[in-house]
A and B are shown apart, each in its own frame.
Chain A
């Protein structure tokens, strides 16, 4: 894939909380600096409610809004937008190091389904990923909601989609010796929560998947079901536990790890857009 790994490296190995976002009304890529200025004033105002805030002066929290043109799937996709909040230490306001305290980005990878059907005034960036304190996510999200009349919703990942991710990522090639594939299941209706972690050697998993997948480059629901059933029956043979009766809550592979609560961690920059494509699809299915 054509992403420069250097430029997106900072997105890797961080936990991102997923949101779906409805199209932004009257968002303009040409005014990112203005947005940064207004957003920083908004944050200052939110933090000291009721007091006057001047737009544009130096504030505790610096906001940067920039574009990430690399993160695209198709020509119709909007360039991703990155929002970063960093704090200045109040002790020495000048020249002191800025510390990144929160970041979030909007993106759309192969979201043609949505962007084709939306009038010009709207910008489709249906997937939002945030890392940092939720209080900042809330302020930034509220500002976007107020300014561009959009709606944010937490994007949970269903067990069905998690099993798709497990199968898809198993089939991906990774250069280095990869870490184990891990599936976490939670057992419902117990007095105490019980999680079952099921780790599989990545080569074994890949060997299994290769026997299941009929056409390379194409995956069907049936194949995913067969793959998961094989893993379940193997587990049952050893532990006499039917995993099909539990809920798949987390999938970790060398490509990425995903939690059903809507949290994702990207681990390989070459597969970044691939994973984002799937997540974009999930986000779009919720807002259409």
Chain B
């Protein structure tokens, strides 16, 4: 048997899902690579208008970069236009990192009127991160007091709200003293306290600062914001802060979330939808709000965070670093593939396995680690989430269909990435398909179907085939085609799985019950028979549309090559209900496709026969003689139909075209004998007409009889040149042309 035959064929089976592999380079964050770009790379292609938006944003930014002093908003349409652009894009998609420098500079420099500055500051919603440098330069503007108090306050509130979005904080920490000096401004004091609270580290706590805070407290009285900062200082350095602070306060800081919080959440949700790469580092303010009343039913894929369950017994040690970990590398810091490679020996999975779905690096890691508990954790989480969020199984869930779609999409992408179906998805599909209307989340559900793992037929029949068939027969043509497409992918995924396991398990004899070769052959055969059955019925129901036929024949393109491409000892011919509609199709595309199929069937059957005859090893599986017989019946019909004009006489298939001459005469069709060959076949006649026009431009009688002898060969060459490659390989392989001169004596080769 040719083991690696599959790799020689032009279409490699394993590349089928290549397009869904997540681009690793896009995962790299920070550094010189612009994270915003990676977000945009993943936006759906139908979002074309993003490009024009991007352009207008760039224009607006370059305008603000160059804007001169004292431009009045009322009189300047250009300013108005660019301001509106910035506002709209900021609220819809957030601003890219490079935008902050420009906008903060202009807003804080006092060049423009305060209304403009305020509007600019209010639209500073980050799409991904905010560069630290832009924040540092704004602080320098703050120090030269070019802007009004209100703008200063607004800037501080903004800084507090977006603190977690700033990409680095080292330089910001270096400015601790500057911020501290702003404390003396009474209006700014509460916000500065809050900011310092966020910035304070142990080394920031200095005796002179404590004194200053105590002085301020003496001057302004017991202010909650001052107490908050003092209590934090006391937490870090209890020996330095000796005063008694009153018990717990309800709120230390005024709500400084301002106008940004809601916009940030919206933008973040939107960007997360568009990108398979989540931003696991965004914590705190960026946490999406619970949208549903029930606390445990939010469809949020958890962020990757280190498993904190490894806490130490020693309480004193815990005081030093709150949750001390072992030597393991924190998943939050895992950003690049090289980091993954360097730390793979001491990496630990995040505390919630569900977070791997949006983290390609962890998925790579998951691929390397074969640990049952990983899959089990994922199984429980995914199973529960799918059941709880299913929009047609749970009442009142239908308003969240979009979110559920996104979730299913993420699950599907993960399956493509891992090249493996999740058993929790399988269980979910089996439970929910009988209740499915075939409409809700259609493409997502059908794509998940294509990743159902191999299992025993009895299960597949009652759980998958029966509910699917019911929907299939009662739904639109488009739905039928989608089902056929996903069943083709299901078949390909099974076959790929088989090929991979042929290689990896070649030494070991260990197979679970349903993955033995005979088990696999049976399950695959059942799938193909199922598709044959629904295809036959669908062609009748829909009256043989070419569109449907295309999807059906596409399925059989995988089937006809299973022996050579996937090394599976199984070939199944399409049922007559598929073969004859394709053969008699009015469309050359279907006929050409059928020709290609028959050529591949022939190649596979000949190869199988040769293997059988050479008997190098005792074959466990042989194709039944019935397969050969069916193939031969079909080939006779085809040759009769396309070449020898003898379809009505020679077809021996019980459901075939054979008809008595008496009956044919009653149809009153003249020359019924020649009415099916490559000239007269309804799918080919169009070509014949064009050929006649080119060969005999003056002849307007359309005398098809002229195409014979040498012209017949020219006509063939003409057809091949028109792209009928399937016809070409079929005629060249299956029709034995006795002599190039005479076409009428051509016969067919039977295998």
Q: List A residues at the B interface (Cβ < 8 Å).
A: 19, 22-23, 25-26, 31, 34, 38, 48-52, 54-56, 59-60, 90, 93, 118-119, 121-122, 134, 137-138, 141-142, 145-154, 286-287
Contact (Cβ within 8 A) A287 B313: no
Contact (Cβ within 8 A) B351 A146: yes
- Shortest Cβ distance from B251 into chain A, in angstroms? 8
B residues within 8 A CB of A149? 351-353, 377, 381
Contact (Cβ within 8 A) B295 A119: no
- Does B372 lie at the interface of the complex (its beta carbon under 8 Å from any beta carbon of A)? yes
9 tightest Cβ-Cβ pairs between the two chains A and B: A138-B295, A22-B380, A151-B384, A152-B296, A149-B377, A121-B373, A149-B352, A26-B309, A147-B309
Contact (Cβ within 8 A) B322 A55: yes
Residue on A nearest B316 in the bound complex, by CB: A56
Contact (Cβ within 8 A) A54 B284: no
* Chain B 224-235 per-residue mask, 1 if CB under 8 angstroms from chain A, else 0: 000010001001
B residues within 8 A CB of A49? 284
Contact (Cβ within 8 A) A93 B252: no
Contact (Cβ within 8 A) B311 A38: yes
- Does B485 lie at the interface of the complex (its beta carbon under 8 Å from any beta carbon of A)? no
* Residues 269 to 308 of chain B near chain A (Cβ within 8 Å): 284-285, 294-297, 302, 305, 307-308
CA separation between A111 and B362, bound complex, in Å?
33
Contact (Cβ within 8 A) B313 A154: no
Contact sample, A vs B, 30 pairs, CB 8 Å cutoff: A22-B380, A22-B384, A23-B376, A23-B380, A25-B377, A26-B309, A31-B311, A34-B311, A38-B308, A50-B253, A50-B284, A52-B197, A54-B319, A55-B318, A55-B322, A59-B248, A60-B248, A90-B247, A93-B247, A137-B295, A145-B296, A145-B352, A146-B302, A146-B351, A146-B352, A147-B351, A149-B353, A151-B381, A153-B388, A154-B297
CA separation between A59 and B248, bound complex, in Å?
9
Residue on A nearest B200 in the bound complex, by CB: A52
B residues within 8 A CB of A154? 294, 296-297
CA separation between A51 and B372, bound complex, in Å?
38
- Shortest Cβ distance from B291 into chain A, in angstroms? 14
* Chain B 37-59 per-residue mask, 1 if CB under 8 angstroms from chain A, else 0: 00000000000000000000000
- Shortest Cβ distance from A285 into chain B, in angstroms? 12
- Shortest Cβ distance from B357 into chain A, in angstroms? 14
Contact (Cβ within 8 A) B372 A119: yes
* Residues 683 to 727 of chain B near chain A (Cβ within 8 Å): none
* Chain B 9-26 per-residue mask, 1 if CB under 8 angstroms from chain A, else 0: 000000000000000000
A residues within 8 A CB of B315? 56
- Does B536 lie at the interface of the complex (its beta carbon under 8 Å from any beta carbon of A)? no
- Shortest Cβ distance from B411 into chain A, in angstroms? 15
Of the candidates A59, A137, A150, the one whose C-beta lies within 8 Å of that of B380 is A150
Contact (Cβ within 8 A) B309 A22: no
CA separation between A52 and B284, bound complex, in Å?
12
- Does B748 lie at the interface of the complex (its beta carbon under 8 Å from any beta carbon of A)? no
CA separation between A145 and B252, bound complex, in Å?
29
* Chain B 241-252 per-residue mask, 1 if CB under 8 angstroms from chain A, else 0: 000000110011
Residue on B nearest A117 in the bound complex, by CB: B376
Contact (Cβ within 8 A) A25 B373: yes
B residues within 8 A CB of A60? 248
CA separation between A51 and B305, bound complex, in Å?
19
* Chain B 348-372 per-residue mask, 1 if CB under 8 angstroms from chain A, else 0: 0001110000000000000000001
A118-B376, A141-B295, A153-B387 are known; give 8 further A-B pairs, CB within 8 A.
Answer: A22-B384, A26-B307, A137-B295, A146-B351, A147-B351, A149-B351, A149-B353, A154-B294
- Does B385 lie at the interface of the complex (its beta carbon under 8 Å from any beta carbon of A)? yes
- Shortest Cβ distance from A140 into chain B, in angstroms? 10
- Shortest Cβ distance from B164 into chain A, in angstroms? 10
Residue on B nearest A19 in the bound complex, by CB: B296
CA separation between A74 and B309, bound complex, in Å?
28
- Shortest Cβ distance from A43 into chain B, in angstroms? 13
* Chain B 307-341 per-residue mask, 1 if CB under 8 angstroms from chain A, else 0: 11101010100110010000000000000000000
